[in-house]
């Protein structure tokens, strides 16, 4: 980003005056910390010894043979501690908050993975943790809510608006406005005011840096294409940025949802329903109506239904350095089943969008080409949504029986 925190026309800091000094304090602390080799080494050490990095680059021999075309590899962020890429950023920001003398962290979450990661690191570092989560997302992702509470975090349901990620972010900003003296706002995606987009993307870039080394070791060159799902954009930024301006094609896969109608998807690209706007502290492409009001969204995955997108990705797409496509809910479930049954890997529904996009295009590529799909998280958290999508009656019967037995006791 430039000195004003912008990426082309996107980004910046559009915040209330009360937050200005806190934002400037964070910007200064972040710059100083990243110039301190001991801090950088501390972050790397925690990523290795607490989170379990590096994560593997896994070859999918069965899918490669089944689909034909390119050689298919998966970057296994699902094997991080907490089961998702979110831990990379949370470790960095948690250590930064501790360095700044903060005693409390707040976070917003959609799918719940960032909330769990924030609660894990807060417990490890001795920080109070409050997580804001849309009431609708809580219903879809309650297993993650359960674990946040067990880790000592306070989970605050947000019932305003559509009761999803956008609304949780709004509430977290309100909290930060009144608690900034002792609180660090631990944003989970590469959005928000400066320095958050750069900071989150920077901590997440460990994903792409590892792929650079692993691809050379495993097949002697960098990937021809890389696929990542795109909600706010943290996992996509993490795997894409180290490959910008290289020969590797970078492909983002958005939530195509149920249809192209307003409120039925979460596509910020390849649609006339999204355009430049300013909200939630930064400028980017937002889904808006004719009057500039933010639109409701839908995705089968709770983590991809954000109304905006990282200013970094908006700028890269505008420059032609990232190509955006989408996968609808039906394609996502089919991709989930393909990967699960053929490779024994259970992806999150968010990651299944990237799987859908990658597998669709793999067949059009040649056998001497290699593609990497970022598996940003594992599917344990999605068991209820997946069972519902698959119309698994035995699972429904099990839940009814279990709840009935619990009530009887």
* CATH code, 107: 3.40.50.1100
Instruction: Look at residue 291 and tell me if it is in a domain.
Output: yes
Same domain, 347 and 331: yes
Q: How far apart are CA 181 and CA 178, in angstroms?
A: 8
Same domain, 362 and 296: yes
**60 tagged catalytic:** yes
The active-site residue, picked from 49, 60, 114, 129, is 60
Instruction: Look at residue 8 and tell me if it is in a domain.
Output: no
**85 tagged catalytic:** yes
Please calculate the CA angle 183-186-189 and round it to the nearest 5 degrees: 160
Same domain, 246 and 344: yes
User: Which residues are CB-neighbours of 358 under 8 A, at least 6 positions away?
Assistant: 72, 225, 227, 251, 253, 371, 373
> Can you read off the two tokens belonging to residue 112?
């719940």
Same domain, 94 and 71: no
Determine the pLDDT at residue 140.
Answer: 84
Determine the pLDDT at residue 162.
Answer: 86
Same domain, 26 and 168: yes
Same domain, 100 and 64: no
Give pTM, 2 decimals: 0.95
Instruction: Look at residue 210 and tell me if it is in a domain.
Output: yes
Same domain, 30 and 79: no
* Element housing 279 (H / E): strand 274-279
Instruction: Look at residue 399 and tell me if it is in a domain.
Output: no
Determine the pLDDT at residue 164.
Answer: 86
Q: How far apart are CA 191 and CA 13, in angstroms?
A: 11
Same domain, 67 and 169: no
Instruction: Look at residue 154 and tell me if it is in a domain.
Output: yes
Same domain, 108 and 244: no
Q: Which domain holds residue 39?
A: 14-49+85-196
Of 196, 216, 243, the position where a domain reaches its end is 196
Domain count, the chain: 2
> Can you read off the two tokens belonging to residue 292?
């500039």
Of 169, 196, 223, the position where a domain reaches its end is 196
Same domain, 227 and 301: yes
The active-site residue, picked from 85, 136, 265, 370, is 85
Task: Kindly give the parts of the chain with pLDDT less than 70.
Answer: 409
The CA distances from residue 196 to 22, 117, 187, in Å, are 13, 17, 7
Instruction: Look at residue 6 and tell me if it is in a domain.
Output: no
Same domain, 284 and 148: no
Instruction: Look at residue 184 and tell me if it is in a domain.
Output: yes
Determine the pLDDT at residue 381.
Answer: 86
């Amino acid at each position: 980003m430039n000195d004003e925190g912008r990426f082309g026309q996107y980004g910046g800091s559009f915040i209330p005056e009360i937050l200005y000094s806190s934002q400037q304090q964070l910007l200064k602390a972040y710059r100083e910390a990243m110039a301190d080799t001991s801090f950088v080494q501390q972050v790397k050490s925690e990523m290795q010894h607490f989170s379990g990095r590096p994560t593997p680059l896994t070859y999918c021999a069965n899918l490669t043979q089944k689909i034909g075309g390119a050689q298919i590899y998966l970057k296994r962020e699902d094997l991080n501690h907490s089961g998702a890429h979110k831990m990379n950023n949370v470790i960095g920001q948690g250590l930064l908050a501790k360095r700044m003398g903060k005693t409390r962290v707040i976070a917003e979450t959609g799918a719940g993975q960032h909330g769990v990661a924030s609660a894990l690191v807060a417990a490890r570092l001795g920080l109070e943790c409050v997580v804001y989560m849309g009431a609708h997302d809580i219903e879809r992702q309650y297993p993650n809510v359960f674990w946040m509470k067990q880790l000592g975090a306070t989970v605050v349901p947000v019932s305003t608006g559509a009761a999803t990620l956008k609304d949780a972010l709004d509430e977290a900003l309100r909290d930060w406005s009144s608690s900034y003296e002792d609180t660090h706002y631990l944003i989970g995606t590469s959005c928000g005011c400066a320095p958050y987009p750069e900071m989150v993307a920077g901590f997440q870039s460990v994903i792409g840096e590892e792929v650079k080394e692993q691809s050379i070791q495993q097949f002697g060159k960098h990937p021809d294409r890389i696929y990542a799902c795109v909600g706010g954009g943290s996992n996509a930024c993490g795997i894409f940025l180290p490959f910008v301006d290289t020969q590797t094609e970078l492909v983002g896969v958005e939530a195509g949802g149920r249809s192209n109608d307003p409120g039925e998807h979460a596509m910020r690209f390849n649609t006339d329903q999204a355009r430049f706007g300013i909200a939630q502290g930064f400028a980017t492409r937002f889904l808006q109506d004719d009057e500039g009001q933010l639109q409701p969204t839908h995705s089968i995955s709770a983590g991809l239904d954000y109304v905006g997108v990282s200013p970094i990705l908006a700028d890269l797409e505008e420059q032609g350095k990232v190509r955006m496509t989408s996968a609808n809910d039906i394609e996502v479930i089919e991709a989930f089943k393909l990967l699960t049954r053929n490779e024994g890997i259970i992806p999150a529904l968010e990651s299944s969008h990237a799987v859908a996009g990658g597998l669709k295009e793999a067949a059009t590529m040649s056998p001497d080409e290699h593609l990497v799909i970022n598996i940003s998280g594992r599917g344990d958290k999605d068991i209820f949504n997946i069972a519902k999508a698959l119309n698994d009656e035995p699972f429904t019967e099990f839940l009814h029986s279990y709840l009935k037995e619990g009530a009887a006791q």
